[in-house]
């Protein structure tokens, strides 16, 4: 499947994948996120791609990440070859044993293809990965690819998604132990053993890039036992995008009109069919209205209403509906 970017650049990952431990290069991270954004934009979810490979071109890669086209293919080929040998580690539940947890190690891809003449690479994702990306019903994290394009540190990219996992839970992460944080960020055991080096080479660079180039502003708090730093808590807040300008400014996320303009019809459909949206606005449509005859009718009716009069839908930030679980179909 050709993953040429369209109106949606939404990356959706399960929280299990967000919480996983792995190490990727910048090009590998970028390549995977292009593929994940395409999967997330498919209305059928990842199941619809079970037998497909994913094609990413050098031209596409260079346009998205603003790199020279002459070196883009080399970066893609190298990234795909490295991904073929990479794995990620996560904790999984055991069937019929709710209190039992096992550690799972899984590959990212089962097959790669590349063509210098064609200027593209193709990835075949493993079943584990396909089950953890795309349109998920619950326990997922999502963000726009454009909000991470300017992050050139892999630590910044990972820390960004670790933080936004908690976007609707007070914009604050729980305490993350030092060991767990190092594993999630992909810091090798023999790297930056001194805390001063870890903060300078990993955390401070990541926070600086996130604050300058993403849609959030972040900071961290050190957790100590005595004089020893044993963990961190990260806090963040959203910024505002001024239309026609690249600069990001802090804003009130409850302002619906500007955020609405960045959403595709598929994203709006997901928002209006969320449990929270239907709880907040279900009483706006009378029981006799044809919109209540089926989920499809409800979605079509509410999406059009949202477009025409967004100021009526300000009870929560629209992102909260996008992140919420989907209501049962009727």
Output b/e per residue, 66-83; b: 16+ Cβ within 10 A: eeeeeebbebbbbbbebb
Percent of the chain with pLDDT over 70: 86
Please give the pLDDT value at position 11.
Answer: 93
**Any residues with CB less than 8 A from the CB of 87 and at least 6 apart, and which?**
22, 105, 106, 107, 108
Please give the pLDDT value at position 287.
Answer: 67
Q: Read off the pLDDT of each residue in 225-238 and give the average, rounded to a whole number.
A: 96
Angle at 187 between CA 181 and CA 190, to 5 degrees: 120
Reply yes or no on whether the pLDDT at 208 is more than 80.
yes
pLDDT band at residue 8, thresholds of 50, 70 and 90?
A: low
Per-residue pLDDT tens for 60-95?
999 999 888 889 999 999 999 999 999 999 998 777
Rounded Cα distance between 205 and 156, Å, is: 7
Q: What is the pTM of this model?
A: 0.71
**Any residues with CB less than 8 A from the CB of 284 and at least 6 apart, and which?**
312
State the residue for tokens 């400014």: 249
Per-residue pLDDT tens for 261-291?
467 777 888 888 888 888 888 877 776 677 6
Please give the pLDDT value at position 46.
Answer: 41
Q: Read off the pLDDT of each residue in 25-31 and give the average, rounded to a whole number.
A: 96
Q: What is the mean pLDDT of the chain?
A: 84
Q: Read off the pLDDT of each residue in 311-319 and give the average, rounded to a whole number.
A: 80
Cβ distance 199 to 145 under 8 Å? no
Q: Which residue has the higher pLDDT, 309 or 173?
A: 173
- Give the number of residues written for the chain: 330
Reply yes or no on whether the pLDDT at 38 is more than 90.
no
Domains of the chain (ranges; CATH) run 1-149 (1.10.10.10), 156-251 (1.10.10.10), 253-323 (no CATH)
Q: Is 32 exposed, middle or buried (0-12, 13-18, 19+ CB in 10 A)?
A: buried
3-state secondary structure (DSSP) of residue 189? coil
What residues form DSSP beta bridges with 12?
142
């Amino acid at each position: 499947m050709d993953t040429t970017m369209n109106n949606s650049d939404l990356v959706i990952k399960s929280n299990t994948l967000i919480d996983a431990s792995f190490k990727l290069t910048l090009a590998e991270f970028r390549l995977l996120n292009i593929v994940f954004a395409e999967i997330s934009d498919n209305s059928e979810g990842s199941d619809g791609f079970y037998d497909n490979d994913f094609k990413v071109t050098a031209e596409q890669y260079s346009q998205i990440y603003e790199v020279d086209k002459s070196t883009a293919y080399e970066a893609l080929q190298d990234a795909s070859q490295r991904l073929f040998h990479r794995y990620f580690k996560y904790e999984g539940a055991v069937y019929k044993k709710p209190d039992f947890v096992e550690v799972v190690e899984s590959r990212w891809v089962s097959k790669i293809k590349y063509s210098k003449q064609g200027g593209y690479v193709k990835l075949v994702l493993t079943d584990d990965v396909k089950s953890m990306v795309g349109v998920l019903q619950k326990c997922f994290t999502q963000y726009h690819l454009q909000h991470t394009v300017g992050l050139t540190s892999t630590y910044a990219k990972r820390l960004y998604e670790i933080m936004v996992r908690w976007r609707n839970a007070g914009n604050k992460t729980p305490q993350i132990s030092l060991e767990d944080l190092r594993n999630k960020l992909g810091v090798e055991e023999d790297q930056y053993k001194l805390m001063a080096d870890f903060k300078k080479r990993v955390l401070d660079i990541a926070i600086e890039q996130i604050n300058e180039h993403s849609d959030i502003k972040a900071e961290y708090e050190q957790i100590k036992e005595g004089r020893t730093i044993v963990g961190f808590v990260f806090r963040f807040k959203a910024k505002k995008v001024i239309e026609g300008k690249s600069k990001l400014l802090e804003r009130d996320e409850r302002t619906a009109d500007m955020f609405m303009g960045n959403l595709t019809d598929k994203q709006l459909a997901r928002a209006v069919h969320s449990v929270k949206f239907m709880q907040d606005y279900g009483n706006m449509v009378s029981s006799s209205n044809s919109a209540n005859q089926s989920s499809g009718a409800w979605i079509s009716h509410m999406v059009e209403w949202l477009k025409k009069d967004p100021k009526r839908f300000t009870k929560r930030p629209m992102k909260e509906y996008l992140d919420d679980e989907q209501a049962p179909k009727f």
